């Protein structure tokens, strides 16, 4: 994607506007949804418990509700993830972002990762729900990121994603490029974690990201407008 061709409206449509804090309240999530409606973002990213609330708040707007599954550690077990995924869809989720079991990736138990991805993707594809696979790259070696991307290229979730934003590091341009070069056009890449300004956002888009997970959407759009006057 060429960031130089973006408009304020098309940039907003790349955002997964995010509030995933443990202390979220009705007021926080209502504000999130109101902001997403005003900006016309792609999605709001919330913990599963808030799916139905946000679905009601965003009814008729075209802004998707995205539920974070197995969040943020990814180590709740596959059956738990499958149950949570189904539950989130029943509650109205339009998109699913799930965290892989990073420990299994570190042990190079690629069959587990492949099965997890295949089963989660199958649930979502059956219901016509977008699915994003979160790697949590800050804990991975480059070859592990590449291997995960290769598995995704075979399994074809809609997106692979850099980070939860809750690890020791977030998205990097280097990782986005590696993921995109590996999956090519078979899967899209979402950059998330630490993206708080237009300069960083632009770098991720230019590296190949077609979704941006951020809680700083308003600030980024403001900086974009100033930079493109």
Active site residue 81: no
Catalytic residue (choose from 16, 55, 81, 97): 97
The DSSP bridge partners found for residue 132 are 97, 159
Is residue 138 within 8 Å of 163, Cβ to Cβ?
Answer: yes
CA–CA dist 148, 154 (Å, integer): 10
- Give the count of alpha carbons within 13 A of 139, CB side only: 21
Catalytic residue (choose from 55, 161, 180, 202): 161
Catalytic residue (choose from 55, 132, 180, 190): 190
Active site residue 190: yes
Report, in angstroms and rounded to the nearest whole number, the Rg of the chain calculated over CA atoms: 16
Closest CA to 169 of 188, 205, 145, 146: 145
- Write out the catalytic residue numbers: 97, 161, 190
């Amino acid at each position: 994607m060429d960031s130089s061709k973006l408009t304020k409206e098309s940039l907003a449509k790349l955002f997964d506007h995010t509030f995933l804090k443990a202390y979220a309240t009705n007021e926080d999530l209502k504000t999130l949804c109101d902001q997403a409606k005003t900006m016309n973002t792609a999605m709001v990213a919330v913990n599963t418990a808030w799916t139905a609330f946000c679905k009601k708040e965003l009814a008729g707007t075209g802004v998707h509700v995205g539920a974070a599954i197995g969040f943020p550690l990814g180590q709740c077990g596959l059956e738990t993830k499958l149950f949570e995924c189904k539950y989130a869809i029943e509650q109205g989720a339009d998109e699913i972002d799930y965290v892989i079991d990073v420990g299994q990736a570190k042990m190079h138990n690629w069959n587990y990762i492949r099965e997890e991805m295949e089963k989660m993707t199958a649930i979502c594809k059956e219901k016509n729900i977008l699915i994003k696979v979160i790697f949590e790259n800050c804990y991975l070696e480059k070859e592990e990121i590449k291997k995960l991307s290769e598995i995704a290229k075979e399994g074809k979730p809609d997106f692979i994603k850099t980070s939860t934003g809750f690890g020791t590091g977030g998205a990097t341009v280097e990782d986005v490029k590696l993921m995109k070069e590996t999956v090519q056009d078979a899967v899209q890449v979402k950059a998330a974690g630490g993206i708080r300004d237009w300069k960083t956002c632009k770098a991720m888009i230019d590296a190949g990201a077609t979704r941006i997970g951020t809680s700083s959407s308003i600030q980024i759009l403001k900086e974009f407008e100033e930079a493109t006057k």
